[in-house]
């Protein structure tokens, strides 16, 4: 047993060191958008900004104001009211009256069979878009004035077909920040966003707050119709484009785009209920595999420090120290206070609970309830049927 645990500690140590080396190299290759130069105005293409809104009266006005204030010469905004029952339609209609040449509002009252609501809404928005480029975003995203000019300039200069952006998350409650750390750690470890630009890599990415894609690429890959029943619409959208051979890239746009993704820890746990199991295509064995890996990689070294002795204890002390160092590095990359690194075991426990909660909830409900509609597990697993 001691030999097996010693080998496990050594493998964990080597994995942590190799991971940190890749993190240091990889993150440095991601451009900070503030350093991007802007093309001449005549080189800037027409862009259609498209977003879906369902009961977003809390955030939509602030977000819409920033979109309308963008200092870009040629763009339109297409807002899809997706069956809202609050003041969202009235807010959108009022702004359309005020900005008739910039904003177009489309109201959806029914959801066709075989579609998830957001995917269908974005599909409808794309059908009405006039732009050579489409920017899919969310109804709670705050954009700074220089965003579009710099983003499209980067995409055009680098011949990128699909550009997604790291946004800045507005985080206030303490325990929400603790949970975000686990999200950032596992996201960086699994996605490795610096790899998505390479054709040899299978890594792909899409952020719901900012998916900028050329219209010809969008049409060629089948658009949102090809991912009609995907809960993880943003990630699957990036995967779809990558699979069709289109060039994909990401930049650090946190000086230009921000959102309060979740306002409280319970809200985040509830919000991830539909997504966590979906990440594994609703397959139990891969989900359990990653849960075990997370326990061994993040949590066992902490336990071993207290229950083991001798060389094994010291190796796990090193592993804990390396994980704290990695957590500090990741926290800095995502503009989270470094002090939250010491809470990484609690953060990982919260993540594991959230994944298990998603699995139990989806099995208990025999599917996912999203935007007021129930989608059976069979539907979600057999998306083409």
pLDDT digits (tens, 9 = 90+) for 293-318: 999 999 999 999 999 999 999 999 99
Indicate the DSSP class of residue 150.
H
Q: Kind and range of the H or E element at 258?
A: strand 257-259
318-360 pLDDT, tens digit per residue, is: 999 999 999 999 999 999 999 999 999 999 999 999 999 999 9
CA pair distance 278, 271, nearest whole angstrom: 12
Q: Averaged over 110-122, what is the pLDDT?
A: 94
* pLDDT value, residue 379: 85
Asked if the model's pLDDT at residue 2 lies above 90, the reply is: no
The DSSP bridge partners found for residue 213 are 134, 162
> What count of Cα atoms within 13 Å lies in the side-chain half-sphere of residue 128?
18
Tens digits of residue pLDDT in 220-276: 999 999 999 999 999 999 999 999 999 999 999 999 999 999 999 999 999 999 899
The listed CATH number (3.40.50.1580, 3.90.550.10, 3.30.930.10, 3.40.190.10) that belongs to domain 31-167+207-260: 3.90.550.10
Three-state secondary-structure class, residue 141: coil
- The confidence score (pLDDT) of residue 384 equals 47
> 80-100: b or e for each residue (b if 16 or more CB lie within 10 Å)?
bbbbbeeebbebbeebeeeee
Interatomic CA distance for residues 23 and 327, integer angstroms: 11
Q: Domains of the chain: which residue ranges? A: 2-27+275-381, 31-167+207-260
Mean pLDDT of 21-35: 97
Beta-carbon contacts of residue 57 (< 8 Å; ≥ 6 apart): 84, 86, 87, 88, 91
Give one word for 180, left, alpha or beta, with left for phi > 0 and alpha for psi -120 to 50.
alpha
What is the rounded average pLDDT of the residues 46-63? 96
Structure tokens, 211:
């998916």
Q: Strand pairing partners for 270? A: none
What pLDDT is stored for residue 154 in this prediction? Answer: 98
pTM, two decimal places: 0.94
CA angle 256, 238, 110 (to 5 degrees): 90
Average pLDDT over residues 109-116: 92
């Amino acid at each position: 047993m001691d030999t097996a645990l010693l080998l496990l500690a050594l493998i964990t140590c080597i994995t942590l060191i190799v991971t940190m080396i890749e993190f240091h190299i990889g993150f440095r290759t991601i451009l900070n958008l503030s350093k991007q130069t802007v093309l001449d105005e005549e080189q800037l293409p027409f862009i259609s900004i498209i977003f879906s809104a369902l009961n977003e009266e809390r955030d939509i006005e602030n977000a819409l104001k920033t979109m309308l204030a963008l200092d870009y010469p040629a763009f339109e905004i297409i807002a899809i009211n997706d069956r809202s029952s609050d003041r969202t339609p009235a807010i959108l209609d009022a702004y359309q009256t005020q900005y008739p040449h910039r904003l177009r509002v489309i109201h959806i009252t029914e959801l066709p069979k075989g579609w998830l609501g957001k995917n269908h809404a974005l599909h409808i928005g794309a059908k009405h878009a006039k732009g050579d480029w489409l920017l899919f975003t969310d109804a709670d995203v705050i954009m700074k004035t220089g965003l579009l000019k710099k983003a499209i300039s980067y995409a055009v200069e680098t011949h990128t077909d699909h550009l997604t952006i790291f946004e800045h998350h507005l985080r206030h409650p303490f325990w929400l920040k603790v949970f975000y750390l686990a999200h950032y750690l596992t996201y960086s470890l699994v996605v490795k966003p610096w790899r998505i630009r390479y054709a040899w890599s299978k890594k792909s990415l899409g952020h719901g707050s900012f998916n900028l894609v050329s219209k010809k690429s969008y049409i060629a890959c089948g658009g949102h119709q090809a991912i009609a029943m995907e809960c993880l619409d943003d990630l699957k959208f990036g995967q779809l484009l990558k699979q069709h051979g289109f060039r994909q890239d990401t930049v650090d746009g946190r000086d230009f785009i921000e959102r309060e993704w979740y306002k409280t820890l319970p809200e985040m746990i509830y919000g991830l209920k539909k997504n966590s199991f979906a990440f594994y295509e609703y397959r139990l064995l891969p989900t359990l595999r990653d849960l075990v890996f997370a326990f061994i990689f993040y949590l066992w070294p902490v336990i071993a420090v207290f229950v083991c002795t001798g060389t094994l204890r010291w190796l796990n002390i090193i592993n804990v120290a390396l994980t704290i160092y990695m957590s500090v590095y990741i926290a800095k990359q995502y503009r989270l206070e470094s002090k939250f690194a010491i809470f990484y075991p609690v953060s990982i426990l919260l993540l594991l609970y959230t994944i298990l909660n998603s699995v139990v909830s989806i099995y208990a409900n025999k599917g996912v309830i999203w935007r007021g509609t129930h989608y059976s597990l069979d539907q979600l697993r057999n998306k083409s049927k």
